[in-house]
Structure 1
Amino acid sequence: MDFIGFMDRVWKVTARTRQREYQLKKPSGEMRSGFLRKVYSILFVQVVLTAVTSAVFMYFESVRNFVHESPALLLISAFGSLGTIIALTIYRHQYPVNLYLLLGFTLLEAVTVGITVTFYEVSVVIQAFVLTAAVFFGLTVFTFQSKRDFSKLGAGLFTGLLVLILAGFLRFFLHSEALELAISAGGALLFCGFIIFDTHLLMHKLSPEEHILASINLYLDILNLFLHLLRLLEAVNRK
């Protein structure tokens, strides 16, 4: 499921190039607090929709069998996500189109993740979910309390994301458990860094108008962290 990592790069690169255009000089504390509430409310809904969809795919045998017998469904959800995320870069400030696109994108990503988890043991999926929630909460609290400037991490993180995507393609040609373990562990660490980076941008850099951008940033970070932890746990359990 390196497609979600690719999606993350497409979105972040586009958003990064347009960030200065919408950044305010110094939003008030009240405005920033309202912005944070809006972003995390949207993010909560996105995560709940994804978790519920994944649970339906995992626990209902008829749905699971349909998914396994319909490989085209993954392609539809993947390319549909790509289309909606491109549209969101253009229309993310146009209400209510931005909300419809955000809902469509979230549902398509939820289907992609739901398909993925059907190929893993339920216990492994639950472990990955709990770990992801704990790590995200811990990193969020750390970033909120820290006075460091984490925006300097951007160049290194984007380079690491490109390397990770290239390594993902390499995995199709070199079937190695060691490579799988390295990619999974490296990917999990990379998206821990992105959670810190994007949370810092949310707190200090982004305009209060950018609630769509901020929520998708964190949503994709969470999905990628979850999927890499899922593969990491699976690789460890095989040994």
Structure 2
Amino acid sequence: MGWRGRDEAEGVEAVYARDTYGSLRNGSSCSCGGEKSLRSSSASTQQHLKKVYASFALCMFLAAAGAYINVVTQLVQFGLLTGLGALGLMIWLMATPHSRETEEKRLGMLAGFAFLTGVNLGPLLEMCIAINPSIIPTAFMGTAVIFSCFSLSALYAKRRAYLYLGGVLFSGLFLMLFFSLINIFAGSTWLFTVNLYIGLMVMCGFVLFDTQLIIEKAENGDKDYIWHCVDLFLDFVNIFRELMVILGMNENKKKKEK
């Protein structure tokens, strides 16, 4: 998740800089008042959000196709190549400026990235199928409910209400990395489980944070709906992955107790 840092930190910085200027100019302590994120946003921002979520739906379809093809054709043997391919497409997408001229090209990159992300879920999906096939639909439905609830909360909360979470969430990511490094040597199941639940909470927080940050970026003129879609897509995929692992571990525990 290191790629998030610079891009989102700059976005938050720009938003707060604008708010500070607005407060000083209007002689108030806060320029946002009780405005709701979605209701108070401009028509262009609402149109932008429609594009973001339409692109997100496309990503979900392509990721599902990639995951299915992997499970059926056993592309997992090329896991390293598909992983590097997804990373390369994401970096290429991030490095390509958003414009009308590059829009189709960047949509193609997004499609490839989403497909390969689905392919890379193959090994985890196969593990869940081996334990209990019902884990996958349960995890997906759980992820859909979590993502929808947190997205709606961010959309209808006060403007910029969740942007303060940025520091906490990035600290959570570093804590997860720290625990993961320790567990390489400790090999503790307990620490691994704790890290999973921390990861789930952090990813849920990122849904709130990213949704409101997308709105504020759009209000400030950043209409790169393709990259904004990547943020939400990765949030969904990471929550789905965490839930599958948690459910898989719980199912294994139940089998051992029988």
Answer whether TM exceeds 0.5 for this pair.
yes
In the alignment, residue 177 of structure 1 is paired with which amino acid? T
Q: How far does residue 190 in structure 1 lie from its aligned partner after superposition?
A: 0.6
Q: Distance in 1 between matches of 2:97 and 2:61?
A: 21
- Residue equivalent to 1:142: 153
- Residue equivalent to 2:28: none
* Alignment pair present for 1:29 and 2:42: yes
Q: Distance in 1 between matches of 2:84 and 2:45?
A: 34
Q: Distance in 2 between matches of 1:238 and 1:172?
A: 22
Are the aligned partners of 1:140 and 1:196 in contact in 2 as well (CA < 8 Å)? Answer: yes
Task: After TM superposition, list the pairs within 5 Å mapping 1:167-182 onto structure 2.
Answer: 167-182=179-194
Q: Which moved more, 1:176-185 or 1:222-231?
A: 176-185
Equivalent residue for 2:115, pick from 103, 107, 117: 107
Q: How far does residue 56 in structure 1 lie from its aligned partner after superposition?
A: 3.6
Q: After superposition, what is the alpha-carbon deviation per residue over 1:111-163, rounded to whole angstroms, capped at 9, x for unaligned?
A: 11133312222211221111000100111111112116111110111111122
- Residue equivalent to 1:19: 11
Q: Closer, same or farther in 2 for the Cα pair 1:22/1:154, shift >3 Å?
A: closer
Equivalent residue for 2:84, pick from 79, 83, 99: 79
Find runs of 4+ consecutive structure 1 residues off by over 4 angstroms: 20-23, 25-28
Equivalent residue for 1:57, pick from 46, 70, 90: 70
% of aligned pairs identical? 26
Q: Distance in 1 between matches of 2:247 and 2:174?
A: 23
RMSD of aligned alpha carbons: 2.5
Stretches of structure 2 lacking an aligned partner (at least 5 in a row): 20-39, 254-258
Are the aligned partners of 1:91 and 1:97 in contact in 2 as well (CA < 8 Å)? Answer: no
Are the aligned partners of 1:180 and 1:235 in contact in 2 as well (CA < 8 Å)? Answer: no
TM-score w.r.t. the length of structure 1 is: 0.83
- Residue equivalent to 2:173: 161
- Residue equivalent to 2:34: none
Q: Distance in 1 between matches of 2:232 and 2:204?
A: 11
Q: Distance in 1 between matches of 2:123 and 2:96?
A: 28
Q: Which moved more, 1:170-179 or 1:211-220?
A: 170-179
* Structure with greater Cα Rg: 2
Q: Distance in 2 between matches of 1:217 and 1:37?
A: 15
Equivalent residue for 1:88, pick from 88, 93, 101: 93
In the alignment, residue 118 of structure 2 is paired with which amino acid? A
Are the aligned partners of 1:128 and 1:229 in contact in 2 as well (CA < 8 Å)? Answer: yes
Q: Closer, same or farther in 2 for the Cα pair 1:223/1:91, shift >3 Å?
A: same
Q: Which moved more, 1:218-227 or 1:208-217?
A: 208-217
In the alignment, residue 168 of structure 1 is paired with which amino acid? S
Q: Closer, same or farther in 2 for the Cα pair 1:120/1:92, shift >3 Å?
A: farther
Are the aligned partners of 1:35 and 1:211 in contact in 2 as well (CA < 8 Å)? Answer: yes
Are the aligned partners of 1:188 and 1:229 in contact in 2 as well (CA < 8 Å)? Answer: yes
- Give 3-state SS (helix, strand or coil) of 1:150's partner: coil
In the alignment, residue 85 of structure 1 is paired with which amino acid? M
Are the aligned partners of 1:92 and 1:213 in contact in 2 as well (CA < 8 Å)? Answer: no
How many corresponding residue pairs? 222
Are the aligned partners of 1:92 and 1:212 in contact in 2 as well (CA < 8 Å)? Answer: no
Q: After superposition, what is the alpha-carbon deviation per residue over 1:209-233, rounded to whole angstroms, capped at 9, x for unaligned?
A: 2212210000111111111111111
Q: Closer, same or farther in 2 for the Cα pair 1:134/1:92, shift >3 Å?
A: farther
- Residue equivalent to 1:119: 127
- Residue equivalent to 1:205: 217
Higher relative contact order (CA 8 A, sep 6+): 1
Q: How far does residue 100 in structure 1 lie from its aligned partner after superposition?
A: 2.1
